[in-house]
Amino acid sequence: MISTEEIKTLREETGLSIMECRKALEEAGGDKDQAIALLKKRGAEIAQKKSGRNLGAGVVIAYIHSGETVGVMLELLCETDFVAKNPEFKSVAKDIAMHIAAMNPIDVTLLLEQPFIKDAGQKIGDLINNAVQKFGERTEIGRFVRFSIS
């Protein structure tokens, strides 16, 4: 039997629904690491299913690194403005922009394969898949540009 505390801990760590976390923990026999792996796999599968949907909304986020010598503008796309206005969606965009400022990827394909600076156990592509799973909408990085003084 999976405890409420285990579900709560996994939910806090992943940001996914209680139901998704409970199902993953049950399938994994209570093993949190295995449950996280299952959730990542499901996220990728869900993202693939939604890949044909129209991207009609999104946000443009600007991130200026401390010292004001590096800045990034990022376009993160989704299906509806309901999701685009969600503070958690905007937070994902800001995290990706911060990553771009730090790691200077040359294009979106390379960016998606880079380990996330805040959590090397995740790639940027995993962040996108988690957003798809969390918000229930196709989510993609549109464009980005990085400016640097040096």
On whether both 119 and 73 belong to a single domain, the answer is yes
pTM of the shown model: 0.72
**Final residue of a structural domain among 49, 67, 85:** 49
Give yes or no: residues 89 and 61 share one domain. Answer: yes
Confidence (pLDDT) at 47: 64
- Say whether both 11 and 45 belong to one domain: yes
Q: What tokens appear for 112 in the block?
A: 């998606």
The number of residues making up the chain comes to: 150
Same domain, yes or no: 18 and 42:
yes
* Same-domain pairing of 128 and 91: yes
Regarding whether 11 and 74 lie in a shared domain, the answer is: no
Same domain, 38 and 65: no
Q: What number is the average pLDDT over the span 73-82? A: 95
Please write the tens of the pLDDT for every residue from 87-144: 999 999 999 999 999 999 999 999 999 999 999 988 999 999 889 888 888 899 999 9
Question: Whose structure tokens read 């995740």?
Answer: 122
- pLDDT tens digit string along 44-55? 676 676 666 678
Number of domains present in the structure of the chain: 2
82 with 135, same domain?
A: yes
Residues 43 and 62 in one domain: no
What is the domain extent for residue 139? 57-148
* Residues 142 and 98 grouped into a single domain: yes
Contact 148, 70 (CB under 8 A): yes
140 and 101 share a domain? yes
Q: What is the DSSP string of 15-30?
A: ---HHHHHHHHHHTTT
- Helices 32-49 & 124-135 angle (0-180, nearest 10): 80
If asked whether residues 73 and 108 sit together in one domain, one would say: yes
